[in-house]
Structure 1
């Protein structure tokens, strides 16, 4: 059973709509042949030279209608491909259909006017039928289907006028004009809507595929951003401590072993954090990041002052806010280490009326490192030299990632010179109060 139905069930929604539409147009071919081509054959007449005139003429008319129906089906199929941008517009085929329809209609009218075709019903049926079915195929070939609003009545009037000009009864011309007007509008509307619907369905299908690809690309960007945020600071610290260990080893000081042990610990921690990023479980804790910033900046010879009311006994923030602010601390700490020649860095977290404000401000913006000019001696001086020689002043993309993280919780980020050679980063995140809680308490406590 699956082999019999697989040709349909394995198709997507858009492909099913296209298949249904195409076979609908093919069915119109059967309708045209069955309803028009058989009409001339159903009217026997008197014999001429041993052969029934009406029967021989009816056979010719039936073959003509069959050829017209096949050409209309081909035009419709090519027009559907053009609507889906699979091939060029079938201008030549459409022109051939117009010529065949006009020539056939005028020939039948001439046969009626000369008396060769005696039955008016046969002539009216053939003329009206081929013109109406042509409208269904031609509507798919125009760029603006609204033009058919004028083409249908114009064709009906032209056909009725041709009949009247050749001396046929006005009722016959009026009947053909009315038939073309009603049938042409009906079939043109049905075919035009079917083609438009098929095109829209395929556009929706392509939009869904594009949305899926964009989601994949966005996830890749998120992964790259998280990997940058996680590894940026750790690699900076590893570079600093490795440079420090080299300088200590050259001076034959035992502290070099301790520094390399610390490098090993940070490398293992980096491996764990990378695995967390890959699994999608990476989160930043504000208190942990604040303490980490204090230790890392202090090891680099930078005086770090932290002011935060959100300590172990203080007020907690919602998890998503802590994670966003923790990433801000982590990224700004990395930037302080990698850029400029800072001697002091101040990190402040304070409550505001409608949220929380995190500021990170450091000096030494744009000043080149000068070896051991940070002040202090021993380890601090060596770390200062390592910062200047090992990291340089490469650019980063962390601030753009921080803005995305803060935007997810309704926050904003401002970064720029703060005056007196300082650089200031300010992150604001709204934190709504829970009704009935004191002003010092925030929603999401209990971390």
Structure 2
């Protein structure tokens, strides 16, 4: 079953909307073809003989124009001006041929002629609106189509009938113009939101790097300026053989050691992550992305800072991967500390397990591991821990971090 549905599930949300939109337009063209062929079936022989080829070609050209116009809307190609001109010209030819046959008395008194005129013009106006960039130009299309269909008809038919042609063309064209224009706008907006989410993730990384740079500058800027000043003073005193030069160099040495300690504090703050904060942050971020996120943690347990830091980075990286690489609808983050003898080998010694599982895994084979997972394995390796990541089937993916019980001796249980 996964092979049959993989072509759909492996697509992003934006790609799914695009596929749905394109096939909706193809379905419209199929409706037009069936409607026109049905009308031709009730038309007199001369009408059917003259219009059968143009009527068959019109839905095909409309379908081609809709596909090319959607590519233009998404920025993949230039505006399809030639295809739009071909659709407009073929529509004019069909309507002109019908009016000429009607003037010659060959169309009879049936409903074939109004049906062909209204359907041909309305579907043409709908797909032509996809090739327009401004809404006011789209609104003018149904008005122009109604005028161009009503005036020539008034020359060969009674005014009331011509007005009926114009009204039918206007209402149908306006409806299809709104449907096509809204579909194109929606598709473009979905892709813009998808790109915005990617940019948001990149900006978050860039912001963290800038924060680290600012912290490092604040720590080192002042101290380096003081070191340079005192070193210059020590040089001047040494040239004068003043004993105060030694005191100044001792002060430089003290400031250098203090700077080294402050840099360690900055790096430690940058590399450490609090597990509780990361769990709440993951819940909030995934919920904001429209996912059902559940966090299951055994209550009343406090972990050593280094264990919390490692697990906090696991939660952060897993959350980032869920947002970037999948199309998940639900996610479960589960932290368990089994009792003695429970579970497998990793859990039998009272070890800790952190699972992050979601249902947005693609069916395609996974690529080579990225630097994020490699960094997590390094952090866990310092605690003799392990990291496993892979699909579970049915579109689910799990990232599991294990830390053995001998590393949890600082674990406390609150009363």
Question: Alpha carbons of 1:243 and 1:25: their partners in 2 closer, same or farther (altered >3 Å)?
Answer: same
Distance 2:254 2:26 in 1: 73
C-alpha distance in structure 2 between counterparts of 1:4 and 1:242, whole Å: 73
Residue of structure 2 equivalent to 1:421 = none
Which of 146, 163, 186 is the matching residue for 1:197? Answer: 186
Equivalent residue in structure 1 for 2:55, among 42, 52, 65: 65
- State the shift of 1:245 in Å: 5.7
Aligned CA distance change for structure 1 residues 253 and 170 (closer, same or farther; 3 Å): closer
**Could you tell me how far 1:281 is from its partner in structure 2?**
5.7
SS in 2 for 1:120: coil
Which string of whole-angstrom CA distances, capped at 9 and with x for unpartnered residues, describes residues 148-171 of structure 1? 4343234223323312313x3556
Give yes or no for contact 1:78–1:90 (8 Å, CA) kept in 2.
yes
Alpha-carbon distance between aligned partners in 1 of 2:60 and 2:260, rounded to the nearest angstrom? 69
Q: Please, which of 172, 182, 190 is the counterpart of residue 183 of structure 1?
A: 172
Matched ranges for 1:274-289 at <5 A: 274-280=263-269
Gaps in structure 2 of 5+ consecutive residues = 272-415
Q: CA deviation at 1:248?
A: 6.6
Tell me how far 1:117 sits from its aligned partner. 3.5
Q: Which residue of 2 aligns with 1:207?
A: 196
String of CA shifts for 1:76-124, please: whole Å, max 9, x gaps. Answer: 2222232233332222222222111111111122122223333632222
Q: 2:31: which partner in 1? A: 31
Instruction: Determine if contact 1:37/1:63 at 8 Å carries over to the other structure.
Output: no
Do 1:80 and 1:195's aligned partners in 2 also have CA atoms closer than 8 Å?
A: yes
Shift of the alpha carbon at 1:252? 7.6
Instruction: Give the equivalent residue in structure 2 for 1:18.
Output: 18
Mapping for residues 4-403 of structure 1, pairs under 5 Å:
4-40=4-40, 42-43=41-42, 53=45, 58=48, 61-118=51-108, 120-166=110-156, 168=157, 170=159, 172-243=161-232, 263-280=252-269
Give distance in 1, aligned partners of 2:141 and 2:164.
18
Shift of 1:209: 3.3
The answer to which structure has the higher helix fraction is: 2
CA distance in 2: counterparts of 1:226 and 1:44, whole angstroms: 81
CA contact (8 A) 1:157 1:177 kept: yes
SS where residue 149 of structure 1 aligns? helix
Distance 2:251 2:197 in 1: 49
CA contact (8 A) 1:242 1:260 kept: yes
How many angstroms does 1:247 deviate by?
6.0
Counterparts of 1:66 and 1:193, CA distance in 2: 27
Query: Is the 8 Å Cα contact of residues 89 and 141 (structure 1) preserved in structure 2?
Result: yes
Distance in 2 (alpha carbons) for counterparts of 1:178 and 1:211: 48
TM-score of the aligned structures, taking structure 1 as reference length: 0.53
Q: Distance in 1 between matches of 2:155 and 2:119?
A: 20
| Conserved? CA contact 2:237–2:245, under 8 Å | yes
Stretches of structure 1 lacking an aligned partner (at least 5 in a row): 46-52, 283-447
CA distance, structure 2, for counterparts of residue 92 and residue 155 of structure 1: 19
Give the secondary structure class of the aligned counterpart of 1:31.
helix
Identify the residue that residue 375 of structure 1 maps to in structure 2.
none
In the TM superposition, residue 243 of structure 1 has moved relative to its aligned partner by: 4.5
Q: Distance in 1 between matches of 2:35 and 2:238?
A: 100
Which whole-Å deviations, capped at 9, do the CAs of 1:178-222 have from their partners, x for residues lacking one? Answer: 321221111111111111222222333333333333333333322
In 2, Cα distance between the equivalents of 1:232 and 1:24? 61
Q: Secondary structure at the match of 1:89?
A: coil
TM-score (norm 2): 0.57
In 2: Cα distance, 1:155 partner to 1:73 partner: 19
Alpha carbons of 1:4 and 1:272: their partners in 2 closer, same or farther (altered >3 Å)?
A: farther
Q: Distance in 1 between matches of 2:50 and 2:262?
A: 83
Q: CA RMSD in A?
A: 3.1
Distance 1:65 1:223, change over 3 A: same
Contact 2:129 2:141 in 1 (8 A): no
Per the alignment, residue 288 of structure 2 pairs with: none
Change (3 A) 1:200 1:232: same
Question: Are the structure 2 counterparts of residues 255 and 189 from structure 1 closer, same or farther at C-alpha, using a change threshold of 3 Å?
Answer: same
How many residue pairs get aligned? The number is 271
